[in-house]
Amino acid sequence: MPGAEPAPRRRTGSGYGRYVAGRLTGAAVSLLAVLVTGFFLFRLIPGDPVKFMTGGRQVSVEQLAAYRREFGLDLPWWRQFTDYCGKALTGDLGTSYQFRTPVIDKITEALPNTLLLTGTAFVLYTALGLFLGTRAAWRGGGFGDRFHTGLALTLYSVPSFWLGLLLIVVFSVGAGPVPGLFPTGGMESGDTTGFAHVLDVAHHLVLPVVTLVAVEYGQTLLVARSALLDEKGADYLTTARAKGLRDVQVKRRHAVPNAALPTVTLVFVNLGRVVAGTILVETVFSWPGLGGLFYQALSVPDLPLVQGLFLVFAAAVILMNMVADLICPLLDPRVGR
């Protein structure tokens, strides 16, 4: 009976609201899972932090016991767990074993450095990847396409530390006719202030950013290219051309927005990774960021610092995934239904 069929539901604001609420809940649950996982995961790393901290030093048995008391390592695991969760929920990530300072201080000290390096690189490699990817796909099969795809694949496969060292040898020390233009490492000379300091940091930033961009832009390029290639033969583009639109308008107004979904997701996932830094490039260029800090924390293991960093890294990725989820329905209404 036709009259009994429910009318198709129209997508309303409240539908999107439910979608948003669902995504927010999902993110919160993920964050909680990370909190719990972080506690147990890093306790699987073998090793006694107290032994490591005192390794090579004259320490009495009483002192070892005092360390354990100080860091709560003498408590049963469930007490350590409840203490950790309780404090984390109030924003207290504990005190680093090796640096004896609040974990949050170590993170806020290194976070700006990482954001500066990976953030700058992110903007550049995303822009470059999107631009070249779109261009390559639109002229698919041509020389430009083959050249850019080949180059991107090659650079994507290059180990970043190796490329970094190569750049140092060529552009820092100088090789043949190339003069040594840039510093060999670090983030600053430490003896400048004001605008000279900005220039000094920028000078130090060039090679690590170039390394990161070279290694990372390929991924964006390949995803953007492949998404656009899928759209290229679609009928609506023929329609658009038939309407008399110029090629560039067909590309920008019709093809690119429809191919944006996978690329936008990738861009936001990458944006989440920006917080974690990159251990290899930070090491080669002695950049004082979170990646190097995480490595140091893992090698002890400095449990409060490892857990704190893990939480921050995971929170950034979860947050950015959530933002991508919230944006996707705006780009393609079918997503949120």
Partner 1 sequence: MDPDPHGPPPTSPTSPAPPRPPSPPAPPPRALPPGTVPPRTAPPGALPTRTVPHRGVPSAALAAALVLLALLPVLGAAPASWDGTGARVSGRDEDRPRRTLKVAVSQSVDSLNPFLATRLLSTSVHRLMYENLTNYDPADSRPVPGLATAWKPSSDKLTWTYTIRENARWSDGRPVTARDAAWTFTTMMTDEDAATANGSFVTNFREVTAPSATRLVIRLKKPQATMAALDVPIVPRHIWSKTGDLAEFTNDRTFPVVGSGPFVLTGYKADSYVRLTANPVFWRGAPEFHELVFTYYKDGDAAVAALRKGEVSFVQGLTPAQARALADEPGVTVNDAPGRRFLALATNPGARAQDGRVFGDGHPSLRDPRVRRALFMAVDRDMLVDKVFQGYAVRGEGYIPPRFSRYHWRPAAGQRVPYDPGEAARLLDGAGYRKNAEGLRTGADGKPITYRLLCHATDPNDKAIGRYLQEWYAELGLGLRVDCLDNVTDPWTAGEYDLAFDGWSVNPDPDFVLSIHTCAALPATPGAPGATDNFICDPRYDGLYGRQRAEYDPAARAALVRRMQSRLYDTGYMNVLAYPNAVEAYRSDRIASITTMPEAAGNIYGQDGYWSWWSATPAEPYGAGPGGGPPTGALVGIAAAGTLLAGGAGALALRRRRTVDDRE
Smallest distance from the beta carbon of 261 to partner 1, in angstroms?
Answer: 26
Q: Which is nearer to partner 1, 21 or 202 (CB)?
A: 202
Q: Which residues contact 187 (CB under 8 A, 6 or more apart)?
A: 113, 201, 204, 205, 286, 287, 288
Smallest distance from the beta carbon of 191 to partner 1, in angstroms?
Answer: 5
Q: Which is nearer to partner 1, 49 or 329 (CB)?
A: 49
How far, CA to CA in Å, does 45 sit from each of 39, 269, 321? Answer: 11, 28, 28
Q: Which is nearer to partner 1, 304 or 336 (CB)?
A: 304
Give me the DSSP letters along 50-113.
Answer: HHHHHTTS---HHHHHHHHHHTTTTS-HHHHHHHHHHHHHTT---B-TTT-SBHHHHHHHHHHH
Cβ burial of 238 (10 Å; 0-12, 13-18, 19+) is exposed
Whole-number Å distance between alpha carbons of 168 and 206: 11
Nearest to residue 306, comparing CAs of 27, 106, 28, 29?
Answer: 106
Q: Which is nearer to partner 1, 112 or 150 (CB)?
A: 112
Smallest distance from the beta carbon of 267 to partner 1, in angstroms?
Answer: 16
Smallest distance from the beta carbon of 19 to partner 1, in angstroms?
Answer: 29
Smallest distance from the beta carbon of 147 to partner 1, in angstroms?
Answer: 16
